[in-house]
């Protein structure tokens, strides 16, 4: 069995006030569960930026094309953008492509937390496949295939007789 390894790095300065405050704002804006989700996204951003720097130094056209196609699939760069545009990506660009954020931005949920709840409860399907991970990176091609199947909310009986049941 293959051993799982961490997909993120913790901050080198754990009590840095500016970093803590900025992470609180990100958690609130995107409805994240924990700072670990921020760190995983930062690790993904670091990976792509490192690859872009290496490819710019080596001038490998084939690998550069593969990297650009991958980022175009998620809508992070445009077709006519250069390799340097990858270096300009931010953590917000990646967090905007998460399923949780896409659901909220498209109006399927009122808040990012509600979008997360819909996903974890199994109410979200993409191309007839249930997706139960709020961190799923949504490709641009699949964005229109998102379906949310929520159960209708039961209306409260306000008659006030026998604990709310009508006779």
Distance CA 164, CA 27 (A): 39
Q: Coil, strand, or helix at residue 58?
A: helix
Task: Assess if residue 2 is contained within a domain.
Answer: no
Same-domain status, 38 and 105: no
Same-domain status, 76 and 103: no
Task: Assess if residue 21 is contained within a domain.
Answer: yes
- Counting every residue written for the chain, the total comes to 167
Task: Assess if residue 155 is contained within a domain.
Answer: no
Task: Assess if residue 40 is contained within a domain.
Answer: yes
115, 108 Cβ separation under 8 angstroms: yes
Same-domain status, 24 and 77: yes
In terms of C-beta distances under 8 Å and separation of at least 24 residues, what long-range contacts does 151-158 make, across chains too? 151/123
Same-domain status, 28 and 55: yes
Task: Assess if residue 133 is contained within a domain.
Answer: yes
Please report which helix (H) or strand (E) contains residue 96, including its range: none
- Number of C-beta neighbours around residue 154 at 10 A: 6
Residue 141: CATH number of its domain: 3.10.290.10
pTM: 0.86
Q: Which pLDDT value is given to residue 152?
A: 62
What is the pLDDT tens value at each position of the chain, 167 positions in all?
A: 899 999 999 999 999 999 999 999 999 999 999 999 999 999 999 999 999 999 999 989 999 999 999 999 999 999 999 999 999 999 999 999 999 999 999 999 999 999 999 999 999 999 999 999 999 999 999 999 999 997 666 666 666 555 555 54
Phi then psi for residue 129, to 5 deg, are -125, 130
Same-domain status, 33 and 64: yes
Distance CA 120, CA 114 (A): 10
Give the closest residue to 30 by CA, choosing from 77, 87, 74, 90: 90
Q: Which domain holds residue 114?
A: 98-150
Same-domain status, 88 and 107: no
Distance CA 82, CA 64 (A): 10
**How many domains is the chain partitioned into structurally?**
2
């Amino acid at each position: 069995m293959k051993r799982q390894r961490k997909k993120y790095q913790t901050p080198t300065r754990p009590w840095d006030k500016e970093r803590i405050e900025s992470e609180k704002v990100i958690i609130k804006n995107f409805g994240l569960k924990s700072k670990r989700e921020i760190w995983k996204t930062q690790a993904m951003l670091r990976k792509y930026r490192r690859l872009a720097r290496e490819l710019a130094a080596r001038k490998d056209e084939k690998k550069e094309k593969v990297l650009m196609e991958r980022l175009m699939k998620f809508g992070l760069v445009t077709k006519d953008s250069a390799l340097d545009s990858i270096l300009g990506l931010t953590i917000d660009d990646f967090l905007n492509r998460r399923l949780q954020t896409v659901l909220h931005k498209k109006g399927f949920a009122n808040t990012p937390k509600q979008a997360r709840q819909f996903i974890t409860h199994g109410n979200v399907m993409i191309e007839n496949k249930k997706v139960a991970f709020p961190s799923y990176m949504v490709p641009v091609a699949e964005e229109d295939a998102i379906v949310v199947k929520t159960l209708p909310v039961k209306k409260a009986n306000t008659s006030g007789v026998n604990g709310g049941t009508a006779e």
